[in-house]
Amino acid sequence: MNELPFDVVDVKKTFRSGDRSVTALRGVSLSVQEGEFLAIMGASGSGKSTLLHAIAGLTEIDEGTICVEGQKLTGLSDAQLTRFRRERVGLVFQAFNLIPTLTARDNIRLPVLSDPMRSANADRLLRELGLADRGGHRPDELSGGEQQRVAIARALICDPAIVLLDEPTGSLDSVAGRELCVLLRRLSDQSRRTVVVVTHEPAVACWAGRVVVLKDGQVVDSFPTDAYQNAETLAQRYQAALEAQADCQA
Ligand code: ADP
Ligand code: MG
């Protein structure tokens, strides 16, 4: 049995509406090891969000397979898929997506309100994410960095094997963005959880262990970050990957 956190094989996806169609993924394959911290880079429109949503079971794919923890997503019933989305993956978005009328604590425990045992974990997560004194505050009383940490705590409340973050620093200033990267690195180092962050910022990607570059719905490069410990050198490799692909197509 395949026990990789997730394994994406030759996935294709075209969005159709009326007589218009946009192909977002053109045969993407991607294997991720347990505990890996992966960054998916690519320009706007390269298919990053579509890929993330497909892995999270939110977007149906046209072709190929996605297995998460050995389970093929296309084989799941609607009820199983709903459970999978709630339990096995944690999703974090650029815009935080918190409920404005709820406190930080209640936002975090929202996915598990009917489960007092797991609800109780909200306070542990608040502490772990440096929000111990923020539990009773509503989102508009929190900084952007704090709101994003609440969103991450909410994503962790079901103890998912995989955390998927779509441009999580996109709404943050550079200081808060860096703090968030430090936090993601710590999350990845301290557990066997797999962390996947979508970003177009080399300064974010260089915190990951491996970078996958998407261009026009295809993986054009994949490399460990060992040799690129700062944003400048990683940016050069990223640009080179995009240009090499352009040469091939010319
Ligand atoms: P990225 O996250 O890298 O910016 P996306 O995955 O959001 O890219 O989009 C890839 C392509 O698919 C884009 O051309 C986008 O316009 C298109 N697309 C994404 N979602 C939809 C949708 N729901 N309906 C139609 N087209 C879409
Ligand atoms: Mg996107």
Ligand 1 pocket (Cβ < 6 Å) reads 15, 22, 24, 42, 44-50
Q: Give the separation between CA 208 and CA 92, rounded to whole angstroms.
A: 16
Q: Give the separation between CA 223 and CA 209, rounded to whole angstroms.
A: 9
How many angstroms separate the alpha carbon of residue 114 from the centre of ligand 2? 32
**Which parts of the chain register pLDDT below 50?**
1-2
User: What pLDDT does residue 114 have?
Assistant: 87
Name the residue at shortest CA distance from atom 1 of ligand 1: 45
How many angstroms separate the alpha carbon of residue 125 from the centre of ligand 1? 33
Ligand 1 atom closest to residue 166's alpha carbon, by position in its atom list: 2
pLDDT digits (tens, 9 = 90+) for 132-151: 999 999 999 999 999 999 99
Ligand 1 atom closest to residue 23's alpha carbon, by position in its atom list: 12
Alpha carbon of residue 212 to chain centroid: 13
Ligand 1 atom closest to residue 42's alpha carbon, by position in its atom list: 3
| pTM (two decimals) | 0.93
State the ligand closest to the CA atom of 166.
Answer: 2
How many angstroms separate the alpha carbon of residue 217 from the centre of ligand 1? 10
